[in-house]
Amino acid sequence: METNKFKVVPEELKGKTVDDIVITNSAVVIKFNDGTFLDVYLDKSAKELKTSTNKLEG
């Protein structure tokens, strides 16, 4: 697995259209209309918020 595969690069998210948002007690997941997801989640072991992006390949 690539080490930067899930790194959030704000410039790569600019201009994308939000398709759906899911909010839970420990995470926020934003789905864009191109299949990209932005995850903001609570890492309980480090006690901090973390982010990642990924794209589901069909």
Q: Assess whether pLDDT exceeds 50 at residue 2.
A: no
Q: What is the DSSP letter of 24?
A: -
Task: List, for residues 24-54, the tens digit of each pLDDT value.
Answer: 999 999 999 999 999 999 888 988 999 999 8
CA atoms within 13 A on the CB side of 53: 13
pLDDT at 41: 92
pTM over 0.85: no
Cβ atoms < 10 Å from Cβ of 37: 16
Could you state, in order of their start, the residue ranges of all structural domains in the chain? 10-55
Does residue 11 sit in helix, strand or coil? helix
37 vs 6: which has the higher pLDDT = 37
The residue with tokens 């982010």 is 51
